Structure 1
Amino acid sequence: MKTVVRLSALVTAAALAISACGGGQSPSESDAPSASTAPVAVDAVDVNEQPLDKLKDGGSLKMAIQQWITQYNSGQVDGTQGDAQAITSVVEPDLFGYDAKGVAHANPDFLVSAEVTSTSPQVVTYRLNPKARWSDGKALSAKDFQAQWKALNGKDKDYLIASSAGYELISDVTQGADATEVKVTFAAPFADWQVLFDPLFPAAAYDTPEKFNKGWRENVPITGSSWKIGSYDKTAQTITVVRDPNWWGTPPKLDSIVFRALDPAAALDAYLNKEIDYTSAIRTEAYTRLKDDPDTDIRVGARWDEVIVVLNGGRGPLADVRVRNAVEKAIDRQAIATISLKDLPVTPKPVDNHLFMPNQEGYEDTAGEYGRLDVEGAKKLLTDAGWAEGNPRTKDGQPLKLSFVLSADATQQQVDQGTLLQQMLGQVGIQLTIDKVPGNDYFEKYVNRSNFDLVSFRNVDQIFLSQAYSQYQAPDGDNVFQNYGRVSSPELVDLLKKAQVTTDRAEAIKLYNQADRLVWSLGHSIALYQRPQILAVRKGLANWGASGLSSDDYNKVGWLK
């Protein structure tokens, strides 16, 4: 069973995603930004579900990813790109699967059970499947849990981590009654404990900063699943995973899965040429060309998938919260959603919350004045901040000029989004330049390094509320965690920490929404819209497609007989 990727995974504004760490949903659907649907049911899933006896043994699933993977460790600060996490989750132990409502269930291939066995203090006891092994022959054990906890709890600054959420609340990890039992003790309650250790990483490749930071670069050193890496072909830009003959569970139906790095704009033609087996149909052009294709099923689901614009408060004019708030008020989010959704079978509507999707319990409008188009209000804020009227405005002889960093692989729809932002900000006296950078450098050299003024990408699979913490925590020196715009406050961090240890769901929802109101008022980022799943899938492919909030189970994917 392969689960949903869970750290907050990055996908470019319209295409690339940042994923929430902990499992493995399908690689980011490589296409343009899209818009929200009129709220789709939270359990909307369309995967052509079929029993295994109706599937052929063998065959391959071929899919596109956006770029060559440079870091496979999803716990490392450069490992948050969604495709990287998806591949890693295929070949590493993923302890929990998720149903159509996003509820976690222990994966029996790796866990006999996992449950809270004490509440004061909170203790979670894991019973490991005694058959589970790493590719180096070692059994899964408490040592793996200990190494992952020590790497990710934030105490050793030599580990360049993407997030310490949850792990920093753990006080101890020990072996239980025997080698198959692991006890994790928390210093404070943690409602989202199932998001931790998922995927589980091997201690042998995780227990030093050197291994953690460098051992997973363009390489997965040790695997522990039904799949293993078969080959990396940098020339062909493909990573192939194959069945592991040492797998102890029910064998997969497919022989291999091939991940091919393709420019997002090239994925549609690659699909029509039968070079890959599924692609996004979220762009108007793609949907129009694919909806009547006789060899194609259009499959639609409701994924946790939010398109945002991040504002870099760590440099230049955006260091002033008044300028960030002015940018928020100058942007017509409805117009962006409408343009992105043009001619698609969904209804455009801005999303007014960073932490909840419209189809989730707890969703409410937390944006307030910062989510409403207010050109005059934006102009007043800029004037109050000392920027004299003009086009562009000036201060101390310097123009009010910002950059919007865009991948060179961007589709026309992404470029159109940048042009809209340019026009909207121009109306209040902000000059926005669109700076295209190489696609393979987009995250590692620009987003991850806070080398931008404005940037847009997708947050995906953030079903566990605690996953949001790393996006808003205060940077620690050069480590920004996932707070790429470097905007935070002690009050925001305290609220998120309090919410993490609140086990009463209703109270936690109140705290998270209170925190999100601060996110908007700080000018951290602008939530644009929820991106639905609209996928074109090759007919005959079963147990694959728009999985919504549920897990992708690569062991069940296959071709009908």
Structure 2
Amino acid sequence: MSYDGVGPRAVMRSVAFLTAGALAVPLLTGCGSEDETSKPLAGQDIAPAARAQVTQGGTLRWAVDTVPETFNTFQSDADATTTRVAQAVLPSLYRIDENGRAQRNPAYLESAKVVDSEPKQVVLYKLNQQAVWSDGREIGAADFAAQWRALSGKDSAYWTARNAGYDRIEKIERGENDLEVRVTFARPYADWQSLFSPLYPKQVMGTPDSFNDGARRKLKVTAGPFVVKKVDRKNEQVRLARNPRWWGRPAKLSEIVLTAVPREKRAAALAAGKLDLAEIDPAAAQRIDSASAAKGAAGPRSVASGSSGAAEKKADDKPSEADKADKASKADKADTSLAGFEVRRSLEPAYTQLALNGADGPLADERVRRAVARALDRTELAALVLKPLGLPAVPVGSHLALSGQEAYADGSGALGGQDTAEAQALLADAGWVAGGPIKEETGEKAAGAKGEKSKDKKSDEKKEEKEEKKEKDKNEEDKNKDDDGTYIVGQDGKAPGETTGGKELAQDGKQQLTHPHQGGAPGAYAPKGTAAPAGAAAGALAKNGKALSLRFVLPSGPGSESLRQVATRISRMLAKVGIRTETVKVADDSYFKDHVASGSYDLALYSWPASAFPATDARPIYAKPQPAADGSLNVEQNYTRVGTDQVDQLFDQAISTLDEGEERDLIRKADTRIWAAAGSIPLYQRPQLTAARKNLANAGAFGFQTPVYEDMGFLEKGARPAAHPSGK
């Protein structure tokens, strides 16, 4: 399952421009100061070393999730490995730094700036005069123009997954010389720095046939520190070799071999000496930590003599003492082999959220959604996942940025923190009361539109209670075992591409409730005087004869135990305010397609990657769903189906201003509105655990930063990397 990825820009989205209108949206109060500069919660952990300390040559064997189906990052089936290859072999005019901010890449750009804003926005790019493609041709305006035409959305023959920003370009011209490119926009575009990264040669972008098929299985022409040397699909490897035409700092490594290795097999591959670098789960991290700590203290136990007799054993025989000794010896040997590795820790540029489906059912009432949010102790949930790993257990305060990024501000105050009484009051105001009569339903009616309800409710409840007890008992033992959040939209290819579209919106004019004693968003609190129902936590709440029960859909795969632990803790928190949950575990391969994307859930846990360009990339995630021409609902990437006209207009204003400070303020205002709507509740930033050979420098847990491939390599004998950011 993918942990690194191309981000939401790899998924199809609407790029329709909506007129902002005259709606005045006041700034909603958050927990942080707008002028306060945030810092990443955890720094990158890559064993940084000066290039002089890194040996020349060597092969880095790096575990990835897949050998990609395409090397064209602008196609719908591009994945995390597609992006990893593109970063190493193609131009990126801007790279993301350790604070999650876009920085000019001097290997390709001498400068880039807006030289005109009236009557139209014009950006002038001045290219590095040494920048050439691997076939010797200079990078220039023809490549920019070919990419614009392919991604503009005007020619349906190009099978593109996204065109945000490119659809706003009016023309691309050569400047005063071959090293200058002038890009004129038909409409202002704040996130112009997001464009042309990566940049493909005109040989790939020039025609629909070359775009659709030419870069799927190979990349003949590139322009990075590495080139694609060989794609071995039989052995599931992509081999990158040092680019002899690279004009920048020469790559230290001779080769990088990207090998597809399942997460659960990576510890064994590391122990067998087949990998040098791999993202791992907490269980593997614990093994590596233990092996490193035990090295030199006591040697591995000797292998028990004699045959284990496995061939003669019957199916019902108990393991012999020889079996146990042999198994323990093999485990010790594997762990000893892991002593040459260390775990590099950071936080991924992605956050896990609780999604609330507001399309129908109880959660269509925003008071119920807010009650769910007010029932959650987000700090406790963050600590459950991050504290055992030694990472900062701080809940995420924004939907649109993470701590360290310029747009970040804690907007959760627009909704409010954990408050059981307030949650119960919101539910009471919505008509859900304790002790009300409940009509029993049977058959298809009981199953409901969302389907898959249990036929034997009592049996299911007993089973769920048993599972929760078992999970609770194992919590301390297993909390480091598996990944916290398997699913990142747009990075693992499991979220289907959505159709694009959009229309100009009118103000919805919905009346919202206001609590006179709170400073958050209108409607975030129950009206003054609303009583919390007595004994709500003791039994289910009911309304119109129906119990308040929410269907909590989760993936059932072996890599999601920790995610299910979070869900169990959430269910207990909701029970305290009278909300029952029905946990439904589904197959991993159907989790997104058949449940989240289709709207067949009430509650779900999944993650979104952060972006340096939230005005562009986050808009389709929170855009108000619109009716399509065929009568269906176009939700873009808004799988909660919760959106407002105000949020849409704030995004439109943000993407159309060329004032960076104004854009940042508008993004923060949009975030507070998203908090107030309570369609999704950010919980925690995802942990990033990477096993790395101890002498590998400038690689590991990258955090926000785009990897600098030319600086990676193995330390010279006797050289030591810079101190670990945590002081270890």
* Range class of TM-score, shorter chain: 0.7 to 0.9
Cα distance, 1:398–1:238 mapped onto 2, change above 3 Å: farther
Q: Report if the CA contact (8 A) 1:162-1:481 is conserved.
A: no
Q: Cα 1:163–1:381, aligned 2, differ >3 Å: closer, same or farther? A: farther
Aligned pair in 2 of structure 1 residues 247, 128: CA closer, same or farther (>3 Å)? same
Letter in 2 for 1:470: P
Select the residue among 511, 514, 532 that pairs with 2:669: 514
* CA apart distance, 1:222: 5.5
Aligned positions of 1:238-387 closer than 5 A: 238-280=237-279, 283=282, 286-287=285-286, 289-290=288-289, 293=292, 294-301=339-346, 304-314=349-359, 318-361=363-406, 363-368=408-413, 370=415, 372-375=417-420, 377-378=422-423
Match of 2:74 in 1: 75
Number of equivalences: 531
Aligned CA-pair RMSD:
4.0
Aligned AA (1:277):
D
Q: Which residue of 2 aligns with 1:462?
A: 611
> 2: distance between equivalents of 1:112 and 1:136?
22
Secondary structure at 2:240's aligned position in 1?
A: strand
Q: Map of 1:31-46 to 2, 5 A cutoff?
A: 44-46=43-45
Q: What are the superposed Cα offsets for residues 433-468 of structure 1, whole Å, 9 maximum, x if unpaired?
A: 3433345x6667766666765443443352334333
Pick the aligned partner of 1:415 from 558, 564, 568: 564
Distance 1:178 1:223, change over 3 A: same
Q: Which stretch has the larger CA shift, 253-262 or 161-170?
A: 161-170
Distance, in Å, in 2 between the alignment partners of 1:450 and 1:178 is: 53
Letter in 1 for 2:555: L
8 Å Cα contact 1:17-1:458 kept in structure 2 = no
**What is the percentage of aligned positions where both structures have the same residue?**
33
Shift of 1:290: 1.9
Q: Which residue of 2 aligns with 1:86?
A: 84
Contact 2:346/2:391 (<8 A) preserved: no
State the Cα distance separating 1:144 from its structure 2 match.
3.0
Displacement after TM superposition at 1:208 (Å)? 5.9
SS at match of 1:260: strand
The 1:321–1:20 alpha-carbon spacing in structure 2 relative to 1, beyond 3 Å, is same
- Rg larger for: 2
Alpha-carbon distance, 1:472 to partner: 2.4
Residue in structure 1 matching 2:705, options 544, 550, 553? 550
In the aligned structure 2, how far is the partner of 1:403 from the partner of 1:379? 20
| Aligned counterparts of 1:236 and 1:395: Cα–Cα separation in 2 | 60
> Partner residue of 2:7?
19
Cα deviation per residue 1:14-41 (whole Å; 9 max; x = unaligned)? x56562659xxxxxxxxxxxxxxxx865
SS state at 2:389 partner: coil
1:524 to 2:679 alignment: yes
The alpha-carbon deviation at position 118 of structure 1 amounts to: 2.6
Secondary structure of the structure 2 residue equivalent to 1:555: helix
Residues 356 and 640 of structure 2 are in contact (CA less than 8 Å); yes or no, is this contact kept in structure 1?
yes
Q: Which AA in structure 1 matches 2:561?
A: Q
Letter paired with 1:437: A
Q: What amino acid is the match of 2:612? A: I
Shift of residue 537, structure 1, vs aligned partner = 2.1
Deviation at 1:533, TM superposition (A): 4.6
User: Is contact 2:96–2:612 with CA below 8 Å preserved after alignment?
Assistant: no
Instruction: Give the one of 587, 590, 608 matched to 1:437.
Output: 587
What residue number does 1:110 align with?
108
Per the alignment, residue 316 of structure 2 pairs with none
2:649 aligns with 494
Measure the CA separation in 2 of the matches of 1:537 and 1:78. 29
Shift of 1:543: 1.8
Displacement of 1:331 after TM fit? 3.3
Aligned 8 A contact 1:312 1:486 in 2: yes
Tell me, in whole angstroms, the C-alpha distance in 1 between the residues paired with 2:55 and 2:697: 10
Where does residue 29 of structure 1 map in the other structure? none
* In structure 2, C-alpha distance between the alignment counterparts of 1:146 and 1:160, rounded to whole Å: 17
Shift of the 481–196 alpha-carbon distance from structure 1 to 2, 3 Å rule, reads farther
CA distance 1:451–1:113, change in 2 (3 Å): farther
Partner letter of residue 541 of structure 1?
A: L
Equivalent position SS for 2:374:
helix
**Deviation, structure 1 residue 394:** 7.6
Q: Is the 8 A contact 1:132 1:248 kept in 2?
A: yes
Stretches of structure 2 that go unaligned for 5 or more consecutive residues are: 11-37, 293-338, 439-539, 717-728
Which whole-Å deviations, capped at 9, do the CAs of 1:497-552 have from their partners, x for residues lacking one? Answer: 21233344443332111100111222332111234555442111112224444331
Residue identity opposite 1:550 in structure 2: Q
**1:129–1:505 CA distance, 2 compared to 1 (3 A):** closer
Deviation at 1:141, TM superposition (A): 3.1
> CA, structure 1 residues 18+175, in 2 after alignment: closer, same or farther (shift >3 Å)?
closer
Q: Distance in 1 between matches of 2:207 and 2:370?
A: 42
CA contact (8 A) 2:401 2:610 kept: no
Alignment match, 2:95: 97
1:114 offset after TM fit, Å? 2.3
Distance change >3 Å, CA 326–CA 201, structure 1 → 2: farther
AA at the equivalent of 1:491: Q
Give the distance between the partners of 1:387 and 1:66, measured in 2 at CA: 46
When normalised by structure 1's length, the TM-score is 0.79
Residue deviations 1:154-190 (CA, integer Å, cap 9, x gap): 5567767655543344333222234432111234544
AA of the residue aligned to 2:73: S
- Alpha carbons of structure 1 residues 20 and 43: separation in structure 2 relative to 1, 3 Å: farther
Comparing 147-156 and 487-496, the one that deviates more: 147-156
Post-superposition shift, 1:353? 1.3
Q: Which moved more, 1:376-385 or 1:121-130?
A: 376-385
Which residue of 2 is the match for residue 197 of structure 1?
196
Distance 1:423 1:549, change over 3 A: same
Task: Give 5+ residue unaligned stretches, structure 1.
Answer: 1-10, 23-38
Structure having the higher strand fraction is 1
